[in-house]
Structure 1
Amino acid sequence: MRRLVPALLAVPLLALAAPASAAPGDFEVVTASGVFGSAAPAYTYQPDLVPAGATARVFAASAPELGTSVTLLVTGLRADREYGAHAHTRPCGASGTNAGPHYQKQVDPVSPSVDPAYANPENEIWLDLTTDRTGTGIGATHVGWQFDTDRRAGSVVVHETHTHTDPGHAGTAGARLACLNVTF
């Protein structure tokens, strides 16, 4: 439970810390939730690892002086298992590839991006998690930037493994298991 409390408080604490001088629209809060199945807003592509009926919730808050905090809470996944999760550029669809690549603040000119200079937790939203004995898990991150107003992420994709960081594999996390539409 100790591990869950700081992660669950990350977004609310950022919200409380929003500067009084922030102009309207500078501070943003985004939430999304869904039950995994075969249609929007939450798709499962491998029901043996992300069963139909499992749930996901995303909470995000951002402000210019503070950056962006994102928390992913999942329930009903396979117990005692590591998963990767990232913000992706487009909304979910019938195939995991519909979500596009990872959202990157500084976009790698080479695709797919496996260069640690671009595919890293400071330039992308990484929400890796490990489920407990009940299949519940939480991933949280904070980056020092906000999404661009004209270029935002459209989903969070749950992947097969924790995210790799080594050159040539940076940012990879195996197959796309599930996807939740999030309007960042």
Structure 2
Amino acid sequence: MKHSARRLAATVAALLVSAIPAAAAAESTGVTLAWGTFRPYTPRAVAVTHDPVLVPPGAGASVLAISSPNSTVVTISVRHLVPHRDYGAHVHTRPCGPDPAGSGPHFQHRPDPRQPSVDPAYANPRNEIWLDFSTDEFGNATARATVNWTFTTRPARAVVIHEHHTHTGAGHAGTAGGRLACVNARFR
């Protein structure tokens, strides 16, 4: 257990060093850091697996978000998922729950009046935070998204890992298949 905690601490430290340019750190308006080991839902779980085959219990994730006055950088790092596999990931509006749909829709800077949003004018990587990744031979991956806006008073409470990379075409924009797992993160 101590070895896993050290590895996680090293991963978080690496994320911090790689994601915080000196200028951004000096003018930061919000920092979010969350990490956990995937397990079935409990009210206190940080990382929840809804599909133990594709996101096995014991796998882990860390999320780091840094907002400066005019932009936000979000990074996710995962470990011990299925090797050589594509996943989608997005920031969602509600925290993880026992039901995969409980984490709500994608957070959108400019909300689509029609939900679920599949209109590319709203469901796109400039208006949402898309963190698609492909795992290596060990099931590890890191993804980063940068947007030219910051989180507002509207809630953004989790990163959801999806079944495959995100679609961009009309009628399917923003979709990435089933919700496999969720990491609670209170974005600011």
TM-score using structure 2 length: 0.86
Q: Any unmatched runs of 5+ in structure 1? A: 1-6
Q: What is the deviation of 1:10?
A: 5.1
Given the alignment of the two structures, is residue 12 of structure 1 paired with residue 23 of structure 2, yes or no? no
Given the alignment of the two structures, is residue 151 of structure 1 paired with residue 154 of structure 2, yes or no? yes
> How is 1:141-180 mapped onto 2 (pairs within 5 angstroms)?
141-148=145-152, 150-180=153-183
Q: What is the deviation of 1:58?
A: 0.3
* Per-residue CA distance 1:117-173 (angstroms, 9 max, x = gap): 00000000100000000000111100000000x213100000000000000000000
Partner of 1:3: none
Q: Any unmatched runs of 5+ in structure 2? A: 1-13
Amino acid at match of 1:169: H
Contact 1:84 1:129 in 2 (8 A): yes
Partner of 2:72: 68
Contact 1:119 1:171 in 2 (8 A): yes
* Per-residue CA distance 1:11-50 (angstroms, 9 max, x = gap): 222xx11386x5xxx6211100010001311110111000
Partner of 2:29: 27
* Percent of residue pairs identical: 53
How far apart, CA to CA, are the structure 2 residues paired with 1:126 and 1:10?
19
Given the alignment of the two structures, is residue 109 of structure 1 paired with residue 117 of structure 2, yes or no? no
Could you tell me which of 35, 42, 46 is aligned with 2:47?
Answer: 42
Given the alignment of the two structures, is residue 52 of structure 1 paired with residue 57 of structure 2, yes or no? yes
- Whose helix fraction is larger, Structure 1's or Structure 2's? 2
How far apart, CA to CA, are the structure 1 residues paired with 2:33 and 2:155?
14
TM-score using structure 1 length: 0.88
Could you tell me which of 121, 124, 127 is aligned with 2:128?
Answer: 124
What is the aligned-residue RMSD (CA, Å)?
A: 1.5
Amino acid at match of 2:77: L
